[in-house]
């Protein structure tokens, strides 16, 4: 069905402007187009979901080397696609990738560990605004960034809400916010969120001691594709979808979850913090907005 070694005249380098990831995605789309197959027919042959294959061809996912090998077999391209996959993987290890937000829209489950602040998906607008200001974002961008964060939270509600688990380090809860009323509103929101169906909030107390996860981590699970991990640094973040890199992070998350307070204990912890705050800061219905 294929010619084994030819890349359909696409090429890479030499001024083409294609990244290795774009080249890989383009080659996948080219091979299917040349074969005359639909995505439905291809999915039946290689035993991967149609939506997953579509995202590979659009460059929205790199996918796994096993998927590349399966497509090589279908197209009769030897190990061409596997070699292109390795080039793309090497490239993604050397550069930053877009954030996790586009992938959250397709997720069925998200597990997150937050260290220095309440997770974006559980922030109130007032708290989010304070966090964005702290990042020295231009004033004209603040409201757009806050709106984007709040918009992402729609996945926790609606007709098809995802399952969400947040491990929140006690340090983030002790840090609070600059404005006491903002922090009181944020704690009230956390107490409410922890009681929603499909949302699980667990506090990682100081007494847990050292553990393997050193910074914010988000694991995103899909129905028809492998899990991806987003590791947040001080100034940037790295997205990885290579199972060899994701699996140790997933296991480390499971170990940390097992040392955290239970959901019931965490809710009691949050209520105690809120009670201490409201003794000094009266909370009105508008404080969390």
What's the pLDDT tens digit per position in 219-242?
Answer: 999 887 889 898 886 556 778 888
Q: What average pLDDT does range 115-138 have in this prediction?
A: 88
What is the band of 9 on the pLDDT scale with cuts at 50, 70, 90?
A: very low
Exposure on the CB side of residue 179, measured as CA atoms within 13 A: 17
**For the residues 262-280, what does the mean pLDDT come to?**
92
Q: Which residues is 231 bridged to in the sheet?
A: 217, 238
Q: What is the pLDDT of residues 94-116, one digit of tens each?
A: 443 455 777 888 889 999 999 99
Which parts of 205-262 are beta strand (E)?
A: 217-221, 228-232, 237-240
Measured between alpha carbons, how far is residue 203 from residues 60, 224, 249, 268 in Å? Answer: 33, 30, 19, 10
Phi-psi region of 71 (alpha: psi -120 to 50; beta: other; left: phi over 0): alpha
Euclidean distance between CA atoms 63 and 227, whole angstroms: 10
Question: Do 110 and 229 contact (CB within 8 A), yes or no?
Answer: no
- pLDDT digits 0-9 by tens, 140-162: 788 888 888 898 898 898 778 89
Model confidence pTM above 0.85:
no
156 vs 216: CA distance, rounded Å: 20
């Amino acid at each position: 069905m294929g010619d084994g070694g030819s890349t359909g005249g696409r090429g890479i380098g030499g001024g083409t402007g294609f990244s290795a990831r774009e080249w890989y995605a383009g080659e996948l789309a080219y091979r299917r187009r040349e074969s005359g197959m639909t995505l439905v027919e291809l999915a039946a042959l290689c035993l991967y979901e149609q939506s997953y294959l579509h995202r590979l061809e659009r460059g929205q996912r790199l996918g796994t080397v096993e998927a590349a090998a399966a497509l090589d077999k279908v197209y009769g391209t030897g190990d061409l696609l596997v070699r292109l996959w390795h080039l793309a993987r090497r490239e993604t290890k050397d550069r930053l990738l877009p954030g996790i937000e586009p992938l959250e829209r397709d997720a069925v489950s998200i597990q997150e560990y937050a260290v220095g602040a309440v997770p974006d998906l559980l922030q109130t607008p007032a708290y989010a605004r304070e966090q964005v200001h702290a990042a020295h974002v231009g004033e004209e961008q603040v409201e757009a960034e806050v709106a984007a964060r709040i918009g992402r939270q729609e996945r926790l509600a609606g007709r098809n809400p995802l399952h969400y688990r947040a491990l929140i380090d006690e340090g983030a809860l002790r840090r609070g916010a600059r404005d006491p009323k903002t922090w009181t509103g944020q704690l009230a929101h956390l107490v409410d969120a922890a009681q929603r169906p499909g949302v699980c909030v667990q506090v990682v107390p100081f007494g847990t001691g050292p553990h393997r996860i050193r910074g914010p981590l988000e694991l995103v699970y899909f129905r028809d594709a492998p899990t991806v991990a987003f590791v947040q640094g001080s100034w940037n973040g790295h997205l990885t979808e290579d199972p060899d890199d994701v699996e140790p992070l997933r296991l480390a998350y499971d170990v940390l979850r097992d040392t955290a307070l239970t959901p019931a204990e965490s809710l009691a912890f949050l209520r105690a913090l809120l009670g201490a705050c409201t003794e000094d800061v009266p909370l009105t219905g508008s404080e969390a907005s």
